[in-house]
Amino acid sequence: MTATTPAPKLGGNAGMSGSDYLEIRGLSVSFDGFKAVTDVDLTVLQGDLRFLIGPNGAGKTTLIDAITGLVPATGSAQKAGVELLGKKVHQIARLGIGRTFQTASVFEQLSVLQNLDIAAGARRSALTMLRRRTSVLPSIEEALELTGLGDLRDRPAGVLAHGQKQWLEIGMLLVQNASVLLLDEPVAGMSAEEREETGNLLRRIGGERVVVVVEHDMDFMRAFASSVTVLAAGKVLSEGTVEQVQADPKVQEVYLGTTAAIGTALEDEISVPSKESV
Ligand SMILES: Nc1ncnc2c1ncn2[C@@H]1O[C@H](COP(=O)(O)OP(=O)(O)O)[C@@H](O)[C@H]1O
Ligand SMILES: [Mg+2]
């Protein structure tokens, strides 16, 4: 762990002192005999901003689907010691696991505020919702503030820019009190400026939460990841800091064979004088 990484709030033992964590052990997913995810171990602590990278078809989305109950899996996936596998999608959501999809899924005709209110409503009774209809919940104010969508609260979500829709989705997870956020390619299709904004948003919310970001963009990863797990053909290929993972010959092999993205990233890295090779 580098000095610049915000230290996870740990009392010597994950799970003590109110710290949250996601702990995956031996997780496997098969589709009709095809192993999409094989024996994956992954531990992400509160305060970590973990990037999950890997070529197309590596099993990144399937892993998130398994954790959130959308596909059956074997092995174990625990949030702060509570087993998630075998539970229903809504039970897992209620335990504070939130995820976004590769394509944003907001209610386009409804306003930003209404979208957030519906998300918050997942945790409230119909009566409370009715009573509170005219006032804005503190958790919603906070989500508007964190996502920078405050000025757009009355706009229909459908007119938001692509990046803003992703931020709204993240805001919806925040009002649901999700403490583990699994974000599937949140910056795909975003402008450089939107990526930067998203990275800063992830930093703001990441300190108190467990955040896993599936991502292809290597520049974005290098700018914001505090740690990286590389998945390939359903297995964990490598794990560590950005530098460690990029220097791993196994990772170079997989990426150089499939995409130029990390190749360019690696060339950039090599042109930087490396003082700290361990
Ligand atoms: N519902 C499904 N049925 C059969 N195969 C699937 C299903 N979902 C994903 N797969 C396969 O599992 C592998 C991993 O897919 P996916 O998790 O979407 O990869 P990634 O998100 O890393 O690009 C791929 O080979 C994909 O075709
Ligand atoms: Mg995917």
Taking residue 138's Cβ as centre, other Cβ atoms within 10 Å add up to: 9
What gap in Å lies between CA 102 and CA 141, rounded to an integer? 26
Q: Ligand 1: distance of its center to the CA of 223 in Å?
A: 28
The answer to whether the CB of 258 falls within 8 A of the CB of 55 is: yes
Residue from 31, 40, 56, 235 whose mutation best tests the ligand 1 pocket (most atoms within 8 A of CB): 31
Interval 80-90: pLDDT, tens: 999 999 999 99
Give the dihedral sign, CA 115/119/122/126: negative
Question: CB of 57 closer than 6 A to ligand 1?
Answer: yes
Which residue did the predictor score with more confidence, 68 or 14?
Answer: 68
Q: Ligand 1: distance of its center to the CA of 148 in Å?
A: 34
Helix (H, G, I), strand (E, B) or coil at 126: helix
The answer to whether the CB of 205 falls within 8 A of the CB of 174 is: yes
Interval 214-255: pLDDT, tens: 997 888 999 999 999 999 999 999 999 999 999 999 998 887
Beta bridge partners of 42: 24
- Whose C-alpha lies nearest to ligand 1, atom 27? 57
Q: Structure pTM?
A: 0.84
Q: Ligand 2: distance of its center to the CA of 263 in Å?
A: 20
- Whose C-alpha lies nearest to ligand 1, atom 12? 36
Burial of 206 (C-beta count, 10 Å sphere; 0-12/13-18/19+): buried
Q: What is the pLDDT of residue 6?
A: 45
Q: Ligand 1: distance of its center to the CA of 275 in Å?
A: 39
Cβ neighbours of residue 101 closer than 8 Å, sequence gap 6 or more:
184
Question: CB of 55 closer than 6 A to ligand 1?
Answer: no
